[in-house]
Amino acid sequence: MDLEIAKCRMMVAVRKGFDYEAASQPGCRLKIATKYPEIAASHFAGKGVHVDIIKLYGSMELAPLVGLSDAIVDLVSTGNTLKANGLEAVEHIVDISSYLVVNKAALKTKYALLEPIIQSFGGAVKAKWAFI
């Protein structure tokens, strides 16, 4: 169930002025800093772009500024952090939202326990939209 909270986008971002369009053509090679290496690798492989993934945690925005990477793949909500660090989002990868996930086996074996919890979450999501 989509809880419709913590919505953001996974984006590719680069230093302002970096020619991402030319650098991300099929057959090109990019250095990408991210804490999401599998998603980044899959995204660029689908475009035919070779990437060297640099797995980082925190302060991702510094990687292109200090020459560690050409671009970053990170979660973006407002884009203010990117702008504050002289970066710009150049490509959307996927929309992100928080989901309630229930194990199928647990749902069958513990339905009486889980059903009220699921209903409560569903009611909260519906109530949110009633006020908008």
Task: Report which secondary-structure segment, H or E, holds 12.
Answer: strand 8-15
Residue whose token pair is 């194990």: 103
The answer, yes or no, to whether residue 52 has pLDDT greater than 90, is: yes
Question: Rounded to a whole number, what is the distance in angstroms from the first to the last CA of the chain?
Answer: 20
More confident residue, 5 or 57: 57
pTM, two decimals, is 0.80
The answer, yes or no, to whether residue 2 has pLDDT greater than 90, is: no
pLDDT in tens, 77-97: 999 999 999 999 999 999 999
pLDDT in tens, 56-79: 998 899 999 999 999 999 999 999
The rounded distance, in Å, linking the Cα atoms of 95 and 99 is 12
Read out DSSP for 79-98? SHHHHHTTEEEEEEEEEE--
Q: What is the pLDDT of residue 110?
A: 92
